[in-house]
Amino acid sequence: MANIVMTNACNLKCPYCFANEFVNHDKDSISFEMFKEAAEFILGDNKGHIGLIGGEPLLHPEFKECISYLLDNRNVKSITIYTNAVLAEKYYNELAAEKVRLLINCNSPADMGDAAFAKMSANIHELVVNRHMKDRITLGINMYKADFEYDYIVKLLLTYKYDHVRVSITVPNCEEGKNRSAVDDFIAIKPRMKAFFHTLLKYGIQPRFDCNKFPVCLWDDSDKAEFAGYYVDKKDELYMQMLNVECNPVIDITPDLTAIRCFGMSDCSKESIRDYRNIEELRHYYLNEFDAYKFNTVCDKKCVNCYNRKTMHCTGGCLSYKVSAITELRNAAAELMNNG
Ligand SMILES: C[S@@+](CC[C@H](N)C(=O)[O-])C[C@H]1O[C@@H](n2cnc3c(N)ncnc32)[C@H](O)[C@@H]1O
């Protein structure tokens, strides 16, 4: 799957947003013609999945036309919409279509404002209860500071009897991440994350990590023992989720058809999709030019001698923390090739 950035406009100002290179600097939206071009680029001749992201995708002035185009396209198996759901009432019918899945990014009332929170909650209610979308909606939370709030999302999850939730430890946009240690950020968020996970698991709700998973080396035996009791079959699922701390190119296509590997690496990975024959070749470009270096760079000295890094199980956090190191290695490799 790859995503189309429908618009740079957003109705919220999330304090942690990693799309900050684009969001609300201009209000550019992808034209319908370019939207179709991006969709065809992602699909090629195959059946596949498409993500719609932003900004806030529901702010696109021709959202109805765009989604109808995908709904009618027999090559589109599913459409995942990344949304804050505040504006969802405009498109209940389209969103309820069978092919659509929603990843609803739930911010706290303090972060999004009481009025927006009330609208998001009302829309979740309508879509889950009256439009029967529960199995196609995933609620998510961004753990972005050491005292992040979570009571509000636990209430939502309990209200709608969800047994899982998407959890993200936020990553920096690459410019601000260049001189930081991902390890320090993980350590800072850990106490609150653990308290949150205890609350979730007590209610039988499984946290499911997005990318930037918590490295296994920071989850010691006492942590494992603390959480083992939640798992009847003794298989520590939380631990298993953390074991494979890989990351792969997401590929977001922006309104002018510039692709980026992911928002965390937006400023160093821009490529016009028109320079590539198809999405697979663009993916290979990112794998070769960025991912090839991901296990041989560190943002923290603690990772240098790590077994999981050396055996390609852990990148030590999001690559956006390692942009400088990756760029240096890319440049060195280019120089070697140029000098024969
Ligand atoms: C940039 S938002 C745009 C779409 C929509 N407005 C929303 O809020 O979901 C897309 C996704 O990025 C995630 N996101 C935003 N900032 C992030 C960060 N700093 N680290 C990790 N994920 C982030 C959100 O959780 C959301 O699922």
Q: Could you report the per-residue pLDDT of 250-297, keeping only the tens digit for each?
A: 999 999 999 999 999 998 999 999 999 999 999 999 999 999 999 999
> Within a 10 A sphere around the Cβ of 234, how many other Cβ atoms?
7
What does DSSP assign to residue 80?
E
Mutate to test the pocket of ligand 1, among 104, 106, 124, 142 (most ligand atoms within 8 A of CB): 142
Secondary structure class of 168 (helix, strand, coil): strand
CB-count burial class (<10 Å; 0-12, 13-18, 19+) for 274: exposed
Contact 315, 294 (CB under 8 A): yes
The tens digit of pLDDT for each residue in 292-311 reads 999 999 999 999 999 999 99
Please name the residue whose Cα sits nearest to atom 15 of ligand 1: 17
Tokens, residue 217: 């080396």
* Confidence (pLDDT) at 232: 64
**Residue with the larger pLDDT of the pair 211 and 238:** 211
Q: Kindly report the CATH number assigned to the domain that includes residue 233.
A: 3.20.20.70
* Confidence (pLDDT) at 229: 84
The whole-chain average pLDDT of the chain stands at: 93
119: left (phi over 0), alpha (psi -120 to 50) or beta: alpha
* Confidence (pLDDT) at 247: 87
pLDDT tier, 176 (very low <50, low <70, confident <90, very high otherwise)? confident
Over range 84-101, report the average pLDDT. 98
Question: Could you give the number of structural domains in the chain?
Answer: 1
Q: Is 266 in the pocket of ligand 1 (CB under 6 A)?
A: no
The tens digit of pLDDT for each residue in 52-68 reads 999 999 999 999 999 99
Q: Which of 253, 248, 231 is nearest to 240 (CA)?
A: 231
pLDDT at residue 190 tops 70: yes
CB-count burial class (<10 Å; 0-12, 13-18, 19+) for 270: middle
Q: Is 54 in the pocket of ligand 1 (CB under 6 A)?
A: yes
pLDDT tier, 24 (very low <50, low <70, confident <90, very high otherwise)? confident
Tokens, residue 189: 């968020």
Contact 201, 193 (CB under 8 A): no
pLDDT at residue 7 tops 80: yes
235 CA to middle of ligand 1, Å?
Answer: 30
Tokens, residue 188: 């800072």
Long-range contacts of 105-108 (CB under 8 A, 24+ apart): 105/14, 105/140, 105/142, 106/139, 106/140, 106/141, 106/152, 106/153, 106/156, 107/12, 107/14, 107/142, 108/148, 108/149, 108/152, 108/153
User: How far is residue 285's CA from residue 293's CA, in Å, rounded to a whole number?
Assistant: 13
Contact 286, 299 (CB under 8 A): no
pLDDT at residue 203 tops 80: yes
Please name the residue whose Cα sits nearest to atom 11 of ligand 1: 82
Over range 211-223, report the average pLDDT. 90
105 CA to middle of ligand 1, Å?
Answer: 7
Please name the residue whose Cα sits nearest to atom 10 of ligand 1: 82
Mutate to test the pocket of ligand 1, among 14, 117, 253 (most ligand atoms within 8 A of CB): 14
Would you tell me the crossing angle of helices 151-159 and 182-202 to the nearest 10 degrees?
Answer: 40
Closest-lying ligand 1 atom to the alpha carbon of residue 140: 25
* Confidence (pLDDT) at 200: 96
* Confidence (pLDDT) at 234: 60
pLDDT tier, 245 (very low <50, low <70, confident <90, very high otherwise)? confident
pLDDT tier, 340 (very low <50, low <70, confident <90, very high otherwise)? confident
* Confidence (pLDDT) at 3: 98
Please name the residue whose Cα sits nearest to atom 25 of ligand 1: 105
DSSP 170-221: ----HHHHTT--HHHHHHHHHHHHHHHHHHHHHTT-EEEE-SSPPPGGGS-H
Domain that holds residue 7: 2-338
